[in-house]
Amino acid sequence: MDARGAGIVVQPQLTSLLREHHAPALRVTSCLVRRYLDPAGGNGRVQPAPQEFTSWEAIYLTLRAAFPNDRYHMGAAVSDIVPEASRVCALIEGRDPVANDVLIAADGANSSLRRRFLPAVAPRYAGYVAWRGTLDEWIAPSRLVSSFDNAFTFCEARSGGHMLAYFIPGDEAATEPGRRRINWVWYIGAGEPELARYLTDKEGRRHHASLVQGSASAALIGEICDLAEREVHPIFTELVAATSDPFVQTIVDVIVPQTVFGRVMLLGDAAFVVRPHTAGATAKAAHDAWVLGRNLARARGNIDAGLKAAESLQLEYGNELTSYGIALGGRWANLRAGKKTPGGAA
């Protein structure tokens, strides 16, 4: 749990929530500019754009430091939930059941509780995937470090899609030069033949939505390296080639009509799943948590009213962010068709 995922663009919804609850300072990296490269090469163009970045691990460690150890149970799998009149009971494997006023279902993009309460809601594949990778600064060639340092770097690919890179905290959320990581993301169109290859691991097993770090075959990694040579700026080609264990996630949209079911509430990716271009999935989870806490407090014991008020704000924000992500993906589709439209945000 403490070292998964890759880079995250820091948004104010997250930092405000952490400050409000007196969490330790989030470890971040930063840059001063955005750099836009052409696949043919060259130094590209630069514009001022200060930005902070972090990692899943850094956020996890910050949240854990603000949460009581005796209330956090690793490996405690919830096997079922039992709604009651004004409470909900969670059945936990190998432990006593836990009953309380509210159950917050924050079980991720493939949420089993979303499937339980909204069986008709299914992820809609957007037609492309995100290849991702990280490279520890201490093993990266100096040319890569100097090229990507202090910048949020983008490059359109020749056949459509785009690639981006920035520095994030390294192991144990370290942000000192030499201990950071270069994080990259490459959006690539994938029909069924490509998707089948991208989601087949080195043991020959086909996965549903992602291929986790360390499971890609040498042949598949070689295919991506060869594709980079044809599609993106040489510095990105070098970055892909230097990454030993890239991984892939399919890009999907999940839109839900409601998030509250009695005393159960879906939160974060268990509710809406938005496209990474928005750089807003973590911010959305923080927003969900903030509106839930604020409206339960305002309801003064009327929990059902507090949940419904939070749901209204959550649905509004989730629908807006999902639409924004789809619009950014539409710009990417225009690029695939050969139209010179600016690429997505992140």
pLDDT digits (tens, 9 = 90+) for 58-75: 999 999 999 999 988 888
CA atoms lying within 13 Å on the CB side of residue 317: 25
Please state whether beta strands 264-266 and 103-105 pair in parallel, antiparallel, or not at all (unpaired): parallel
* Structure confidence at residue 6 as a pLDDT band (50, 70, 90): confident
List domains and CATH numbers for the chain.
Answer: 33-49+129-167+175-250 (3.30.9.60), 102-122+254-336 (3.50.50.60)
Strand order in the sheet with 78-83: 78-83, 88-92, 98-100
Question: How far is 148 from 150, CA to CA, in rounded Å?
Answer: 7
- Buried (b) or exposed (e) across 34-59, using 16+ Cβ within 10 A? bbbbebeeeebeeeeeebebbbbbbb
CB contact at 8 A, 58 and 27: yes
Global confidence as pTM: 0.90
| Averaged pLDDT, 21-39 | 96
Supply the mean pLDDT for the chain. Answer: 92
| Averaged pLDDT, 160-166 | 94
Q: Left if phi > 0, otherwise alpha if psi is -120 to 50, otherwise beta: which for 305?
A: alpha
Q: List pLDDT tens digits, range 246-300.
A: 999 999 999 999 999 999 999 999 999 999 999 999 999 999 999 999 999 999 9
Asked whether the predicted pLDDT for residue 331 surpasses 80, the reply is no
